Structure 1
Amino acid sequence: MSSRRGRRGTQHTRQKDAVLKALSGCDDFVSAQGLHRILNEEGQGIGLSTVYRQLNALADDGKADIIHLNDQQMFRICQDGEHHHHLVCEHCGRTIEIEPPEQWVHSVAEEHGFSVNSHTLEVFGICPDCQRWEA
């Protein structure tokens, strides 16, 4: 089987393509274990360690977002490749991209004498559907 070289020398393999396709089918953040389960249900014979490796490679290449939720790494495909932030449900993982508070970030940094090189903002809470289940 031949493979194609991608950006920064990463190989495009059957496994990478399968992980990318499965991740693209997820609207919300998903764990490596969750994606591994999806791949197995689709009949893909990919090991969990390969799924982790491919997800981290996608994140390193800027093709996937990564957050930490409930002590695990969660992944989501980057839809537009632009800098963005998320509102994430801590129960179900529902994710909404939100407008970045760029002005606030820079004004707070300036107030404390910092210059901003980069920033990350994830807002965690409970979505309306999960709130109904809790009530």
Structure 2
Amino acid sequence: MNLEQALDTLKEKGYKHTDKRTDILRLFEKGKGYLSAKDIQLQLKDQYKGLSFDTIYRNLSLFVDLGILEATELDGEKMYQFNCTSHHHHHLICLQCGKTESIEACPMTEMPQSQTGFLVTGHKFEIYGYCEHCR
């Protein structure tokens, strides 16, 4: 996902194009890892005086619902990045800078089938640690 695709998705789903939404999404395009609502507020505070966490969270939630962003939790804080839509994969996530790296291996291929009739409809696998730069 990139900024142009994200804006197209908003338009296709009937949501208004606003400067705040564009600027929030632009931060994800510039970033190389996950961002929190606090990161967004800090980066946009001079541009949008009084930008509330409620406004930020409402837009982040919308972006996740539309498949524009994906979310994870690091140290008890919800973090976001552009959704990787190219193919099925998982991530290595740096706990210090939030940088992500894709990994192609999927542990679900090794999981035994449920004997209880449980139907798996999706999964998420993330490995946390420190990138080469942050070590």
- TM normalised by structure 1 equals 0.77
Residues 83 and 55 of structure 1, relative CA distance in 2, 3 Å threshold? farther
Which whole-Å CA distance do the structure 1 matches of 2:86 and 2:70 have between them?
9
Q: How many angstroms does 1:6 deviate by?
A: 2.9
RMSD: 2.3
* Matched letter for residue 10 of structure 1: Y
Residues 58 and 82 of structure 1, relative CA distance in 2, 3 Å threshold? farther
Which whole-Å CA distance do the structure 1 matches of 2:105 and 2:15 have between them?
30
User: Counterpart in 2 of 1:25?
Assistant: 30
Percentage of matched positions with identical amino acids: 27
Which whole-Å CA distance do the structure 2 matches of 1:20 and 1:32 have between them?
12
Is 1:38 matched up with 2:32?
no
Q: In the alignment, which of 59, 62, 65 is matched to residue 54 of structure 1?
A: 59
Is 1:121 matched up with 2:125?
yes
Which whole-Å CA distance do the structure 2 matches of 1:32 and 1:38 have between them?
10
Larger helix proportion of the pair? 1
Is 1:95 matched up with 2:93?
no
Q: In the alignment, which of 57, 80, 88 is matched to residue 75 of structure 1?
A: 80
Which whole-Å CA distance do the structure 1 matches of 2:33 and 2:87 have between them?
17
Residues 100 and 10 of structure 1, relative CA distance in 2, 3 Å threshold? farther
Larger strand proportion of the pair? 1
User: Counterpart in 2 of 1:130?
Assistant: 134
